[in-house]
């Protein structure tokens, strides 16, 4: 069997945690002496009856958002004058203000003049490659209304530590669907977060190892050998793990779609060679396959745009840079500086190519290919949370309607994850991941930036609380544990993502 080189992926199943023993009530005997009042009476004893059952736990509090306009992302319409009641992390009531009463003692948010959407998802991020980065990035996602992320490659110890901290409530962070370690070729593009795979046997072993570690899907990358790629697909299918990522150099995008890869990232080398013209026969065939197999495209237009304007000084004047960890900021600047000597023709070609990527994204949408909003947050000048709003603007620029762009960050991720019973809509029974906006996103997609409050797992974050999360690490002692102290051996993994 070929050796798998790279970070260890072996993890243990979690032991039961957080289980509270039932309160035990014991009746105590108390003898009360009855004293004669008039004549001497016989003393008697009275025993208190024990409680009939254990004391009930405290009732979970209600949260009510009243007189708000719901955004029905499925239909792309507004539903005004609604009350939304949340309890225990779920939406329990939704309806007209005259029909849905606000429970007594509920925490009330006045939604007059405001718009309520499902929590946003960024379906392509890199937040888990470093513990300090995770401590800063994860709260920043929530501050911008991003209540779920799909992490496309990082370190398993950081993933475990972040998930435990979020579940334990010691770190505010979104729901995390994660690949863990990337599967790449014998000489990986980034060996710090990749397994080096050279044979089909090594590919199967890597998938098995990641499955034991509790990842949610398998991420494949550009240099993965062709025979190993197909072995990875087969093994992942056997273990019911989705496969997503780049299309390896030795595989065509059409083969990837036909063989079951569930999402294809970026567009550059994966789709563009077939689709110089969206009407070209090869491109039509590709779109047919993507649509038939429900293979999603994640254009990540915001990072493609950055690469096209990397010589533009506005990138380093962005005020969001101040909140980016120094190690990330310095890496971005090194890449930008290294490209400053390129000739003007190079940048003209880059910009022309980006306009082609915009056109291709619009053509795929018009041909009913499912698009997912993703940013590559953590890559060049792409920011946790706020860059998703930039991505939605670029999707509209590509030709999508505001409603379609909003679906790419709400309903489409729920469909992709098989979680439409819990995510992607403001409806009774759904998880209470919600974003309250100050302006209508269907009128202008840029209005998704007007976040006034976020509800995450039923917990309300008003604007002041969101401001405290944005671009700032949590206070000392309340953050993700130092990942340098976390080891694969002996460290139980948290439960897989559940909705």
pLDDT digit of tens for each residue in the chain (499 aa)? 455 556 644 443 333 333 333 332 233 333 333 333 333 333 333 333 444 444 555 678 999 999 999 999 999 999 999 999 999 999 999 999 999 999 999 999 999 999 999 999 999 999 999 999 999 999 999 999 999 999 999 999 999 999 999 999 999 999 999 999 999 999 999 999 999 999 999 999 999 999 999 999 999 999 999 999 999 999 999 999 999 999 999 999 999 999 999 999 998 666 766 676 667 788 889 999 999 999 999 999 999 999 999 999 999 999 999 999 999 999 999 999 999 999 999 999 999 999 989 999 999 999 999 999 999 999 999 999 999 999 999 999 999 999 999 999 999 999 999 999 999 999 999 999 999 999 999 999 999 999 999 999 999 999 999 999 985 434 333 333 332 222 232 333 444 455 6
Domain shared by 226 and 115, yes or no: no
Give the CATH number, domain containing residue 332: 3.20.20.140
Domain shared by 126 and 172, yes or no: yes
Which tokens belong to 429?
Answer: 């029974």
Domain range enclosing 95: 60-119+424-469
Domain shared by 375 and 455, yes or no: no
Domain shared by 434 and 383, yes or no: no
| Number of domains forming the structure of the chain | 2
Domain shared by 399 and 454, yes or no: no
Contact assessment for residue 122 and residue 375, using Cβ atoms and an 8 Å cutoff: yes
Domain shared by 356 and 395, yes or no: yes
CA pair distance 446, 44, nearest whole angstrom: 79
Domain shared by 153 and 236, yes or no: yes
Specify if 12 maps to a domain. Answer: no
Specify if 190 maps to a domain. Answer: yes
Beta-carbon contacts of residue 323 (< 8 Å; ≥ 6 apart): 136, 140, 470, 471, 472
Domain shared by 104 and 200, yes or no: no
CA pair distance 398, 391, nearest whole angstrom: 10
Domain shared by 250 and 221, yes or no: yes
- Between the CA of residue 60 and those of 23, 56, 160, 178, 432, what are the distances in Å? 18, 11, 28, 30, 14
The alpha carbon of residue 492 and the mean position of all alpha carbons in its chain are separated, in whole angstroms, by: 22
Domain shared by 333 and 253, yes or no: yes
Q: What is the 3-state composition of the chain as percent helix, strand, coil, each rounded to the nearest 5? A: 35, 20, 45
Which tokens belong to 264?
Answer: 């294809």
Domain shared by 318 and 447, yes or no: no
Specify if 355 maps to a domain. Answer: yes
Name the nearest CA neighbour of 60 among 85, 82, 23. 85
Specify if 10 maps to a domain. Answer: no
Under DSSP, is residue 117 helix (H, G, I), strand (E, B) or coil?
strand
Domain shared by 217 and 292, yes or no: yes
């Amino acid at each position: 069997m070929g050796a798998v080189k790279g970070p260890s992926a072996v993890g243990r199943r979690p032991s039961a945690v957080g289980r509270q023993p039932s309160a035990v009530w014991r009746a105590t005997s108390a003898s009360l002496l009855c004293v004669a009042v008039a004549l001497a009476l016989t003393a008697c004893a009275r025993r208190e009856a024990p409680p009939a059952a254990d004391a009930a736990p405290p009732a979970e509090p209600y949260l009510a958002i009243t007189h708000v306009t719901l955004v029905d992302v499925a239909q792309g319409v507004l539903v005004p004058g609604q009350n939304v009641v949340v309890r225990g992390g779920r939406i329990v009531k939704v309806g007209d203000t005259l029909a849905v009463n606000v429970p007594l003692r509920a925490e009330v948010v006045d939604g007059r003049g405001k718009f309520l959407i499902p929590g946003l998802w960024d379906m392509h991020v890199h937040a888990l490659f470093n513990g300090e980065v995770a401590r800063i990035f994860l709260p920043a996602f929530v501050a911008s209304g991003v209540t779920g992320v799909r992490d496309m490659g990082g370190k398993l110890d950081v993933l475990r530590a972040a998930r435990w901290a979020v579940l334990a409530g010691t770190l505010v962070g979104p729901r995390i669907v994660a690949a863990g370690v990337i599967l790449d070729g014998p000489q990986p593009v980034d060996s710090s977060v990749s397994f080096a795979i050279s044979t089909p046997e090594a590919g199967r072993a890597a998938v098995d190892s990641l499955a034991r570690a509790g990842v949610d899907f398998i991420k494949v990358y550009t240099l993965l050998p062709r025979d190993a790629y197909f072995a990875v697909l087969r093994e992942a299918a056997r273990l019911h793990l989705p496969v997503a990522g780049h299309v390896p150099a030795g595989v065509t995008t059409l083969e990837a779609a036909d063989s079951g890869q569930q999402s294809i990232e970026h567009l550059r080398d994966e789709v563009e060679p077939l689709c110089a013209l969206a009407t070209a026969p090869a491109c039509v065939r590709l779109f047919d396959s993507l649509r038939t197999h429900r293979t999603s495209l994640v254009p990540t237009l915001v990072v493609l745009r950055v690469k096209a304007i990397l010589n533009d000084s506005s990138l380093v004047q962005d005020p969001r840079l101040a909140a980016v960890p120094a190690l990330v900021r310095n890496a971005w600047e090194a890449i930008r500086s290294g490209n400053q000597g390129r000739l003007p023709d190079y940048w003209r070609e880059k910009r022309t190519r980006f306009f082609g990527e915009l056109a291709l994204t619009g053509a795929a949408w018009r041909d009913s290919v499912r698009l997912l909003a993703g940013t590559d947050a953590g890559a060049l000048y792409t920011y946790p949370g706020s860059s998703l709003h930039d991505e939605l603007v670029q999707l509209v620029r590509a030709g999508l309607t505001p409603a379609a762009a909003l679906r790419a960050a709400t309903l489409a991720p729920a469909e992709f994850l098989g979680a439409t019973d819990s995510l992607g809509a403001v409806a009774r029974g759904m998880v209470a991941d919600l974003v309250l906006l100050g302006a209508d996103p269907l009128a202008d997609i840029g209005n998704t930036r007007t976040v006034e409050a976020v509800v995450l797992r039923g917990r309300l974050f008003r604007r002041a609380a969101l401001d405290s999360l944005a671009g700032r690490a949590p206070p000392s002692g309340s953050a993700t544990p130092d990942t340098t102290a976390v080891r694969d051996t002996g460290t139980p993994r948290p439960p897989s993502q559940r909705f």
